[in-house]
Amino acid sequence: MKGFLGLDVGAVSTNLAVLDIDLEVVFHRYVRTGGRPISSVRSIMQIAGEGCGGLDIIACGTTGSGRRLAAALVGADVVKNEITAHATGALHYFPAARTIIEIGGQDSKVIVVRDGMVSDFAMNTICAAGTGTFLDYQAGRMGMTIDEFADLAAQADESVTISGRCAVFAETDIIEKQQRGADRGAVARGLCEALARNFLTGVAAGRPIDPPIVFQGGVASNKAVRRAFMRRLGCEVLVPRFHDVMGAIGVAMIAARQREPEGPSKFRGFRVHPGELSTRGFECDGCSNLCEIVEIFDRDTLLSRWGSRCGKWDLG
């Protein structure tokens, strides 16, 4: 059997999806990056190899903030940004979608779609208040896992108003509400509503949020956040079955479409390069941009290099 592989490497999670020749998902996995992208890629590829190692991968794509590093590690045929990957995945399952909301661990995005094409987008990569990491941290503070936190928020009959514009202010607000005796469920639901409110007034400000609306990313599994969006938008918010790995699915589909039918894939196999991999860097002083160049080596052999705005140093 032949198939396509997509890998989405972010600061918080590393996601993988394997599709068959009909673009059906046959395997997917989500693991924590943990600040060690090379290790997380090795780990998830080993898991995928054990799960579907008999599949012949004929095209591979990478996306996410670590997409170039991942491409060098696994041998990618296609390297795409997150906006394109997430839009491709969402539109495959919901061709009529006009708005895509994606909230992950590190950042959040709104993608505006018209006639099946991305017409506008915006991202929040500055403050954690509108991301999954913020909810993760607050769940830990309250002595719960993120799943327990989400269940508690979804079951709460009421909520308290939490300032969601800033992670620091939000935490101060939470502590004050708890000291006043606020119910934990109301606090959890208030946090979820603050995240949705912050997204719509910040990331999505000035952009049309028209239905059909697709909600994806790890936070889409939180029913309280989804309900908060629906209450504010006054319409249904669709959550794909594979919402947590949609970037990986999307880039696998792009790799499938762009591959050369008769050409070999660059994919190296599920066993990530066994050599001693390391990353190095330097600052280019060729112009006033002073670009930070990143290199990945197998011992002394250069595998890939990227980071220059002009492309002077880029490889792969």
User: How many whole angstroms separate alpha carbon 110 and alpha carbon 97?
Assistant: 12
Q: What is the pTM of this model?
A: 0.86
Indicate whether 139 belongs to any domain.
Answer: yes
- Which of 64, 113, 120 has the alpha carbon at shortest distance from 93? 113
**Confidence at residue 276, expressed as pLDDT on a 0 to 100 scale:** 67
User: How many whole angstroms separate alpha carbon 184 and alpha carbon 162?
Assistant: 13
Residues 235 and 101 both lie in one domain: yes
- Which of 153, 163, 83, 159 has the alpha carbon at shortest distance from 129? 163
| b/e map 115-124, b = 16+ CB within 10 Å | eeebeebbeb
**Confidence at residue 12, expressed as pLDDT on a 0 to 100 scale:** 83
CATH number for the domain spanning 51: value is: 3.30.420.40
Beta strands 13-20 and 56-63, pairing class: unpaired
Q: Among the three residues 239, 269, 298, which one is the final residue of a domain in this structure? A: 239
Residues 226 and 284 both lie in one domain: no
**Confidence at residue 265, expressed as pLDDT on a 0 to 100 scale:** 92
**Confidence at residue 79, expressed as pLDDT on a 0 to 100 scale:** 93
**Confidence at residue 275, expressed as pLDDT on a 0 to 100 scale:** 65
Q: 24: alpha, beta or left, given left = phi > 0 and alpha = psi -120 to 50?
A: beta
Q: Which domain holds residue 81?
A: 2-85+247-258
User: How many whole angstroms separate alpha carbon 296 and alpha carbon 27?
Assistant: 28
Residues 81 and 104 both lie in one domain: no
Residues 6 or more apart whose CB falls under 8 angstroms from that of 12 comprise 32, 33, 104, 105, 106, 132, 133, 218
Residues 100 and 231 both lie in one domain: yes
Beta bridge partners of 31: 14
User: How many whole angstroms separate alpha carbon 34 and alpha carbon 21?
Assistant: 32
Q: Are 86 and 80 in contact (CB under 8 A)?
A: no
Number of structural domains, the chain?
3
Q: Are 94 and 240 in contact (CB under 8 A)?
A: yes
Q: Are 99 and 114 in contact (CB under 8 A)?
A: no
pLDDT in tens, the chain (316 residues): 899 999 999 888 899 999 999 999 999 999 988 888 888 999 999 999 999 878 899 999 999 988 888 998 899 999 999 999 999 999 999 999 999 999 987 788 999 999 999 999 998 866 666 677 888 888 888 888 888 988 999 999 888 888 766 666 777 777 777 777 778 888 889 889 988 988 898 888 889 999 999 999 989 999 999 999 999 999 999 999 999 999 999 999 999 999 988 788 999 899 886 566 777 888 988 888 888 888 878 777 777 777 777 777 766 5
- At 301 the three-state DSSP class reads strand
Residues 139 and 228 both lie in one domain: yes
Indicate whether 265 belongs to any domain.
Answer: no
Q: 154: buried, middle or exposed (CB in 10 Å: 19+, 13-18, 0-12)?
A: middle
Strand intervals (E) in the chain? 2-9, 13-20, 25-32, 56-63, 78-79, 99-103, 108-114, 117-124, 213-216, 237-238, 277-283, 292-298, 301-306
**Confidence at residue 138, expressed as pLDDT on a 0 to 100 scale:** 82
**Confidence at residue 304, expressed as pLDDT on a 0 to 100 scale:** 74
Residues 56 and 125 both lie in one domain: no
Indicate whether 116 belongs to any domain.
Answer: yes
Indicate whether 91 belongs to any domain.
Answer: no
- Which of 306, 304, 313 has the alpha carbon at shortest distance from 73? 304
